[in-house]
Amino acid sequence: MTPRKAFSTTLGFCILLISSSTFQAFAQTVMPLYPDKIPNSIHVPDEETNVDQIARKVSRPTLTVYLPPASAATGAAVIVCPGGGYGVLVMEREGHQVAKALNKAGIAAMVLKYRLPEDKIMSDKSLGPLQDAQQAIKTVREQAEKWKINPAKIGIMGFSAGGHLAATAGTHYDSTFIANPMKTSLRPDFMILVYPVISLMDIIGHKGSSSNLLGKTPTKEKLKYFSNELQVTKSTPPTFLTHAGDDTVVPVSNSIQFYEALNGVGIPADMHIYSKGEHGYLKTPAFSEWFGRCLHWMKVNEFLPSK
């Protein structure tokens, strides 16, 4: 091995160790989402890959639990659903980094690595992600005392297609798709939706998410069922929405129509639209900008202490 290659290998190994130790300092627990058999699952070899914190072919869902220091804990908790069009999961940028920021604000965070819909791993791929979101809400609520969480302040947060999953959990909680012998409430107390896919209808829907979740030729009934702007009721949780007007991947109309549906039945909702940001907020707005507005909304709606 040449000195240059040896140096490169050593440096890469050191960076890996530093990254790993930093991650471990924040990650409290990584746990299987289901203690026993995974529902709606076809047993196949685990083919999951994770390159550059992008997870693919997820068939074994997990929950990574981040707890803030007891002295800073507010009692609020947020389940974080990374995006990726139901084809991949952006685990670091839309998962673990967000969980760490939530912890700094005294909020417990749980990053959900949900199953990515695929016919060969699920009997009904359209229900797998929703089952995982419901199981995550159930788990957090049932562990609330252990994790020092207020069971009435458990929210769900999602980015892009993860926003679709979060919104689906918030609009379909009264349909139970998992075993729930204790009749634990599956309703999130609030939703935080960041450049979310809301609709799967042809006009504004995200075709990639729709195809991955429902297949290439879904029925009209399926499209309507999973188009969450059509599923809002007076008991839908309060919601924070943020989106960019120049988003060419997921049109801002997704957030606007969901906000209008919420507002139409009197659900408290904030919507912050930026003229620039595209999909993913890669350059603007800064994380602190939209996240600060999110924390303000949580305080105004009494999910966080005002001081």
pLDDT digits (tens, 9 = 90+) for 268-281: 999 999 999 999 99
Rounded percentage of the chain residues whose pLDDT exceeds 90: 88
Q: Which of 28, 32, 56, 60 is nearest to 46 (CA)?
A: 60
Provide the mean pLDDT of the chain. Answer: 92
- At residue 12, does pLDDT exceed 60? no
More confident residue, 191 or 20: 191
Rounded Cα distance, 80 and 109, in Å: 7
Tell me the backbone φ, ψ of residue 100, rounded to 5 degrees: -65, -40
Rounded Cα distance, 21 and 40, in Å: 35
Rounded Cα distance, 245 and 242, in Å: 10
Burial status of residue 23 (CB atoms within 10 A of its CB: 0-12, 13-18, 19 or more): middle
Which pLDDT score, from 0 to 100, does residue 306 have?
84
pLDDT tens-place string over residues 66-96: 999 999 999 999 999 999 999 999 999 999 9
Confidence grade of residue 26 (pLDDT, cut at 50, 70, 90): low
**Count of CB atoms situated within 10 Å of the CB of 140:** 25
Which pLDDT score, from 0 to 100, does residue 28 have?
79
The answer for residues whose C-beta is within 8 angstroms of residue 266's C-beta and 6 or more apart is 234
Which pLDDT score, from 0 to 100, does residue 10 have?
38
Confidence grade of residue 203 (pLDDT, cut at 50, 70, 90): confident
This prediction's pTM? 0.91
Which pLDDT score, from 0 to 100, does residue 135 have?
98
| Geometric angle at alpha carbon 27, from 66 and 70, rounded to 5° | 45
